[in-house]
Amino acid sequence: MSRCTATKNLEVHHKRRDGGNGIDNAQILCHQCHENTATYGTDGKSSSPFSEATKEAALKRAGNRCECEKDNCHG
């Protein structure tokens, strides 16, 4: 199994930077996967932060697990 299934250091990623702060734009990623996203830490329009309620709902939807689906995303 190569897909990331981390359950620690989970962060809420904005799927689309201009996609707003709703649950549809939220993806649970562990810190390492988050760092591997193309837009992480880059300049540009900043996203509006997710509310605590949205973060909780996103975590629950993801089963408290990284939702990254890239194979061998990081070592």
Residues that bind Zn ion (CB under 5 A): 4, 6, 30, 33, 66, 68, 70, 73
Smallest separation (angstroms) from Zn ion to the CB of 69: 8
Q: Which is nearer to Zn ion, 48 or 65 (CB)?
A: 65
Q: What is the 3 state secondary structure string of 15-70?
A: CCCCCCCCHHHEEEEEHHHHHHCCCCCCCCCCCCCCCHHHHHHHHHHHCCCCCCCC
Smallest separation (angstroms) from Zn ion to the CB of 61: 16
Comparing every residue's Cβ against Zn ion, the nearest one is: 73
Q: Which is nearer to Zn ion, 4 or 26 (CB)?
A: 4
Q: Which is nearer to Zn ion, 21 or 37 (CB)?
A: 37
